[in-house]
Structure 1
Amino acid sequence: MIQIKNLFLLSVIFAVSISIITDYAYAESSPNSISWQLTFITDKSSCNFSEETKIREIENMVKKYFQLYKMNGNLLESNCVLSGQYFSNSNSNDANLNIIVLDEVIGDQLMMRYGYEGLYAHYGADRTNNHAIIISSHSQYSSAFENTEFSWLLSHELSHFILSHKGHNVESIERMLHADKLQYNDCISDFSQRCADIKSTVTSNVSGQKFNVMSPLKQVVNQNSMSYLSDDLYSSYAVKKLLHQITGWWINGIIDDKFYLDALKQIVDVPITKNNMVKTTQLSISNGFSILDEIKKGENNEKILKNPAKMYDVLKFIPFDTHSIKSESKSPIIPSWYKNRAMLWQNEKLEDRIFLDGVDAIVRNGLIQEN
């Protein structure tokens, strides 16, 4: 009878564990699959063959770049919109990522003249949704400004999105994408091995042309989650005991979500090396963050006085309601699947690795962030 009872309990625990893991899998499903939409805004009186060809070329660049990161990109639709009609047109709300490309005239007026050629923004707590890229489309030789090659700039903005989608916060993105000593100018015409980690090429299926893009970060390719967990969590009895204790306090209501996350952060956070910090220009967004990319020089090699305040007008082109999206940082709420998993782990009915995978997931969802 005792053996039957134990067998029954084991089956219940197994069923609950499967349920928790299923909930977790649902919450974290298809981390490398994203839907995206492309909108090209033109100053011309109509969208002609030239604009349509450029759209196909940009579509192909984005698809090829996602492939470098081994991500599945689902293009929902592409639109060519006249500038005077953009704000009256409806856009799909199903896209995880919206890419807005401004033609050369509009890009010069709204971005380049103020010192910027690209913008990435994310809103809210859900890192799978509410991403936007706004980029100026320009010919390498026709613009009055000395700018970055369009394919390189596009891949740079896509890299912002990919890292953010995988859970990296803005400080992590800055370090990983902006701290390289080998800059764009150093490698754009250099085919030596020293630039292999900086520059890659993709070949267009539309024109057959080869385009320079940022090489994918090796540590991010195939990464479904961020590796914020120290080896001490697996090897140190003292650290594991401390984690057990604060998790128990939280489960029993002695400390609230915010206190628990703050305490947990001291264990899982990655130390930041000061000399690796790189500060980018950002806009103040109450429920999200943005990163601006500067142009190199103005007309006649003159230095442009940057005016980031003008970029708030560019944010108006984001095709979803940014004001209704809840901030990820003001009111941390730990999901129920994590609490269920923590209770099983606290009672030694769940392996350390499965619980720590849950810790990694809430890091990726923005509940625990770097200093």
Structure 2
Amino acid sequence: MRAFFDSWLPSAPTANRREQLRASAGALLGILLTSLLSHVLLQNTHASIFLVAPIGASSVLLFALPASPLAQPWSVVGGNVISGLVGTACVHWFGDSLPLPVVAGMACGGAIAAMFVMRCLHPPGGAVALTTVIGGPAVHAAGFEFVLMTVMADSILLVLMAITYNNLTGRGYPHVQQNAHVNPHATKDAVPTVRLGFKPEDLDAVLKQHNQVLDISRDDLESLFMQTEQRAYQRRFGIIHCADIMSRDIVSAEFGTSLEDAWQAMRKHRVVCLPVLNRACRIIGIVTQTDFLHHGGLDSYGGIRQQLRRFLRKSGVTHTEKAEVVGQIMTHHPTTARVDTPIIDLVPLMADSGFHHIPIVDEEQRFVGLITQSDLLAALYESRFAEAAA
């Protein structure tokens, strides 16, 4: 008997208690503030209703599933308003000639079709369409004003609450789709991590064959598959952490290190980058040979030696637009990894995103080492060689 009931229950939520409380508190604040503001904004209008029930369903998506395609701003506002307009039109056109159940079905079906066409599918939109049909005399009397005043105001206000709350609590909203497979070199080649294994077109073909609406974006689904592959790789070959392969005796610079000194240090030690540290040994930037070439105007090879000398030489004046120290040309807030980060997590960064070196920090965010593409390649080769030998 228990197995029978378990088969009807969805799987346990993957979100932890903290995330569940965050979503619940967001819905509480969102509905509370939306209700209060809507009441104030609509009290001097002909709209006698200032809050509609489907907004409660919208709050579930906005605060519990903010990354869902069904919860994005256009989905919420467009889905609710367009559905309300479809439902109101059905009441005006067929309310006196057809039975209520028929009008209700036409409203919901028409709303779904309209949301598909307008790319704003939002489940509570169906409830909005139904509300316009069975909402009673007050809703019928308000007609399109009910939709364009109350429903629109509630939807916009709730979206604004979701944008504020989700971003303040660490959930980026609206959800920005990240194309993880854009070649950083602007060529037609696929990025290295998708040249073997499943490819984006494989996922597109499977989704087309599946032929159902999923409550997750295609890009997020692809990202989950890639992370799953990385987990499987770790289980197969073991976990190697950044601390195991990083270089520790690293030549570094400070914000005020002169350009000439930094350039000479890079040439002396035959490195292509220098981490820039503050007095607490925390990384504040990174300077590379590319930075020197870019800021020195060395994009063309004509007279490059003379241009480089002029760029490195101190100007001798106190106020100049010319860069004098490393801090003026470095890349601020570089991407870093922790000493306990599995090296497999660095593969997408170095293979796909074009990073050639990743600074490594400890639990207190102090710089402790550097991993280059060569370090990563050697470690992955050793792990495969060890497995083959076993």
- For normalisation by structure 2, the TM-score amounts to 0.25
- Larger Rg, first or second structure (1 or 2): 2
Structure possessing the higher relative contact order (Cα contacts under 8 Å, 6 or more residues apart): 1
Task: Tell me the TM-score normalised to structure 1 length.
Answer: 0.26
Which structure's residues are more often strand, by fraction?
A: 1
